[in-house]
Copies of this chain bind each other. A is one copy, B any other.
Amino acid sequence: MSYEKLHSLERELKLVADASALLGWDQEVLMPSKGVAYRAEQMAWFSGYLHERFTSPEVGDWIAAAEDAGSAVGDIYSAANLREWRRQYTRSTCLPKKLVEDFAESTALAKAAWAGARDKSDFGLFAPHLEKLVSLSREHAERWGYEEHLYDALLDQFERGATTRRLSATLGALRESLLPVVLEATAQEPLDRTKFTAHYPKEKQEAFNREVAESIGFDFEAGRIDTAVHPFCSGMAPFDTRLTTRYDEGDFLSSLFGVLHEAGHGLYEQGLERGRRGEPVGAAVSLGVHESQSRLWENHVGRSRAFWEKWLPRAAEYFPHLAAVSVEEMFEAVNQAELSHIRVESDEVTYDLHILLRFEMEREIFAGNLAIKDVPAEWNRRFESLFGLKVESDAMGCLQDIHWSIGIFGYFPTYSLGNINAAHLVAAARRQDPALAARMDRADYSALLDWMRVHIHRPGSLYLPDEIVTRAAGSPATADALVEHLRSRYLRNAG
């Protein structure tokens, strides 16, 4: 009885939260500029309303009563839902409504300020907003609690069980394994890109991307692709998953890989159990698992030789000068390693160095070792020491990512966990099912998608992230498969 009340409330609140998700999406993609202040007020209302309904004492009573009923509640799905609702309730009731509303309004304003600051490449315009968001996030962390580092409480919101200590170890170890690969891969002679130099009209990119996304299984009757400054995926309803990308008319690969990446997120969203709206078991389990799905389609599929054997001839119909490009040249072009400034444009080999930098910056900010005003200088110093490159402007440096502007701290490390999980899952799927591997090598990804549907998408949050991956792959994720994948792909000419 208490469980049913909870369940019905959660279904209702999901409906309302999804409306708020549309408002957030619209602000990124369509909203006229003068609408920003009012939209911030609206977003704050939704946050406040949802928080207030969910944190009412009645809800706490229902959870406690359902817990007392114990196994009488029923199946493992209900038990998992209850586990998650308890956790969410405990975390939410530490937060006063004022803090929740303040945070929502501040992020809406900061997001707009960030876009302006990035255009002008002027961190100073964004600094007061970042200061505010860091301070509010600190307050969140203090209220949620943590064992060792305040930053742990922020990490944990995106990836259960992640800690500063463990991530420092994991990312440190990954760096050690990657370092020889990075050095060797970036030392190779860069590809002559003359053959690729052309005008790629946005409309043609859109049409080609759509065709590719459709072929890997993205359902356009339950989704869209639009244009936005920062690519993202919003699963805003059981049958409404929206991707965004951005276009460079000098390089069709930029939007294509953006779409493959976001479509990977989208396939996860579209593959969740749609009848379980409002139930945690019907929702994605963590960002590290979410990112494994996007990386899988972007890198393991989209940068493979088999993919281009199939798609290069089609691409050449949209962009005729590509008829002069061979599959081998295309394969090389999409697998160039280079030390560069922009994370979202970086290659698979150097990508995790970008994450390492952000992880360390956040760790230092929340440890109180780094003042906001010093962020650009510190970023530039660390970047030069990691990449050997100077940072000439804030837009190319600490203003490049949207995350901080929407109050997201502790999120970046999940990208590296995603890379690790993606490689681990693909290797497991290929090993478990040789026919699947053979089909992948013919650029037929339906078996791969089915495998992910069964092992990753449908379970939702039935188990915790580590357990989902371990059950799917048959062993816990380590970076071995990722390093092996990168070695075999990037060191192909190395002797």
Contact = CB atoms under 8 A, between A and B. Distances in A.
A237 B18 CA distance: 19
Contact of A240 (B31, B221, B239): B31
Contacts of A42: 15-16, 18-19, 237
A32 B270 CA distance: 13
Nearest to A18: B42
A387 interface: no
Interface string A380-423: 00000000000000000000000000000000000000000000
A30 B224 contact: yes
A144 interface: no
A22 interface: yes
A284 B219 CA distance: 41
Given A19-B19, A22-B26, A239 B32 contact: yes
Interface in A1-53: 12, 15-16, 18-20, 22-23, 26, 30-35, 37-39, 41-42, 45-46
Contacts of A18: 38, 42
A45 B15 contact: yes
Contact of A26 (B12, B26, B41, B46): B26
Contact of A39 (B39, B45, B237): B237
Given A22-B23, A22-B26, A26-B22, A240 B15 contact: no
A170 to B, nearest CB: 38
A376 interface: no
Nearest to A203: B203
Interface string A206-244: 000000000000011111100000000000011110000
Contacts of A220: 32
Contacts of A26: 22, 26
A390 to B, nearest CB: 37
A265 to B, nearest CB: 16
A224 B42 CA distance: 19
B30 A15 contact: no
A219 B32 CA distance: 9
Nearest to A240: B35
A245 to B, nearest CB: 16
Interface residues of A, number: 32
A183 B221 CA distance: 48
A38 B221 contact: no
A238 B31 CA distance: 12
Contacts of A35: 222, 237, 239-240
A66 to B, nearest CB: 24
A237 B34 CA distance: 10
B45 A240 contact: no
Interface string A165-188: 000000000000000000000000
Contact of A33 (B15, B31, B221): B221
Nearest to A12: B45
B239 A34 contact: yes
Contact of A46 (B19, B38, B219): B19
Closest 10 CB pairs of A and B: A34-B239, A35-B240, A34-B222, A38-B237, A34-B221, A33-B221, A35-B239, A32-B222, A15-B45, A15-B42
25 contacts: A15-B41, A15-B45, A16-B42, A16-B45, A18-B42, A19-B20, A19-B42, A19-B45, A22-B23, A22-B26, A26-B26, A32-B222, A32-B223, A32-B224, A32-B240, A34-B221, A34-B222, A34-B239, A34-B240, A35-B237, A35-B239, A35-B240, A37-B239, A39-B240, A42-B237
Interface of A: 12, 15-16, 18-20, 22-23, 26, 30-35, 37-39, 41-42, 45-46, 219-224, 237-240
Given A22-B23, A26-B26, 8 more contacts: A16-B42, A18-B38, A32-B223, A34-B219, A34-B222, A34-B239, A35-B239, A35-B240
